[in-house]
C-alpha cells in the first residue's frame, strides 16, 4: 500500500507514452505539480493533449512543455499569461480547445464520476457551441459537453499519507481534486508525507483509492505569477 516513488522521473517512466490525454491540477502557478511537469518534460513524450485551466507562464509550469513542443493540444479556459502559448496558437503550431472555466471543472468531475457527458447552458449561442449537440429542456437550449477521462492525471497536494490520501491547502486546491479523480492513473506530488492513520479522515479531500503513485517534493519553488506592489507615494 506504500505508494511513494523515489522521484518524479521514476514515477512517470513506465506510464507515459506519446499521444496521451493528461489532466493537470493548478490555476496559474498556484497548486501546480511542478516536479511532475519537469519529470514529464524529461521523459521526452510528445503529441500530448493536456486539459488544464491554463498553461502556466513562460519558462515554468506547462510553459516548459510548450517550449519543447511536447504538447499538441490544450483544453483550457485561459491563455493570457503565457506568451509562447499565445504565439503557438496564433501561428497554428498548437491546437487549442477553449472551454469555459466552470465547464472544464465539471468535465473533469463528470469524467471522474463515470459520467460520459452532460448538458449546460454555458456557451450557447457562441463559438463554444459550434459542432456540439444542442437540446431543449423546458424551453431552454443546452449544449452537450463530454466528460474528461484522462490517461494520466498529475496533481499537487499539500499533505498526504503513504496510502495516497490527499489534503490540499487553501486556493491550491483549485482543479486538483477534479483532475485527481478523472485520471485512469493519478500521480500526486506532495509537500508533507505522514504515516497511514495520521490524517484526520474528515480533512481528506481526495481518498487514496484515486491515487496510484506519490512523489515527495518538500521544497517547491512556489513562484509568484504576477507580482503586484503599490507605487511608493512621495512624502507631503
Radius of gyration of the chain (CA): 19
In the chain, which residues have pLDDT < 70? 236
The whole-angstrom separation of Cα 180 and Cα 217 is 18
C-alpha cell belonging to residue 178: 477534479
3-state secondary structure of 50: strand
pLDDT number for residue 80: 77
What one-character-per-residue DSSP string does 106-170 give? Answer: HHHHHHHTT--EEEESTTTTSGGGTTS-EEEETTEEEEEEEPP-EEEEEEEEEEEETT--EE--G
The whole-angstrom separation of Cα 178 and Cα 68 is 27
pLDDT in tens, 83-116: 899 899 999 999 999 999 999 999 999 999 999 9
The closest alpha carbon to 76, from 5, 155, 175, belongs to 175
> Is 220 exposed, middle or buried (CB count within 10 Å of its CB: 0-12, 13-18, 19+)?
middle
Determine how β-strand 48-51 pairs with β-strand 21-24: parallel
Predicted model pTM: 0.93
How many C-beta atoms surround the C-beta of residue 86 within 10 A? Answer: 16
User: DSSP state, 64?
Assistant: H
pLDDT number for residue 224: 76
Non-local CB neighbours of 86 within 8 Å, separated by 6+ positions? 79, 80
pLDDT number for residue 78: 87
pLDDT in tens, 120-141: 999 999 999 999 999 999 999 9
Amino acid at each position: 500500500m506504500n505508494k511513494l516513488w523515489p522521484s518524479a522521473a521514476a514515477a512517470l517512466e513506465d506510464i507515459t507514452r506519446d499521444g496521451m490525454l493528461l489532466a493537470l491540477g493548478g490555476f496559474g502557478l498556484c497548486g501546480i505539480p511542478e516536479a511532475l511537469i519537469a519529470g514529464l518534460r524529461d521523459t521526452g513524450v510528445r503529441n500530448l493533449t493536456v486539459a488544464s485551466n491554463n498553461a502556466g507562464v513562460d519558462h515554468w509550469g506547462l510553459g516548459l512543455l510548450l517550449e519543447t513542443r511536447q504538447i499538441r493540444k490544450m483544453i483550457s479556459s485561459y491563455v493570457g499569461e503565457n506568451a509562447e502559448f499565445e504565439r503557438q496558437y496564433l501561428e497554428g503550431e498548437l491546437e487549442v480547445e477553449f472551454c469555459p472555466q466552470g465547464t472544464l471543472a465539471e468535465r473533469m468531475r463528470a469524467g471522474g464520476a463515470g459520467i460520459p457527458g452532460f448538458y449546460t447552458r454555458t456557451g450557447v449561442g457562441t463559438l463554444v457551441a459550434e459542432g456540439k449537440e444542442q437540446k431543449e429542456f423546458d424551453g431552454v437550449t443546452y449544449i452537450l459537453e463530454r466528460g474528461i477521462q484522462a490517461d494520466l492525471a498529475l496533481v499537487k497536494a499539500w499533505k498526504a499519507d503513504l496510502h495516497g490520501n490527499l489534503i490540499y491547502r487553501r486556493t491550491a486546491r483549485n482543479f486538483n481534486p477534479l483532475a485527481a479523480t478523472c485520471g485512469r492513473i493519478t500521480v500526486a506530488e506532495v509537500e508533507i508525507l505522514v504515516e497511514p492513520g495520521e490524517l484526520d479522515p474528515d480533512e481528506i479531500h481526495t481518498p487514496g483509492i484515486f491515487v496510484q503513485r506519490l512523489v515527495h517534493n518538500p521544497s517547491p519553488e512556489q513562484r509568484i505569477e504576477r507580482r503586484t506592489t503599490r507605487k511608493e507615494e512621495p512624502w507631503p
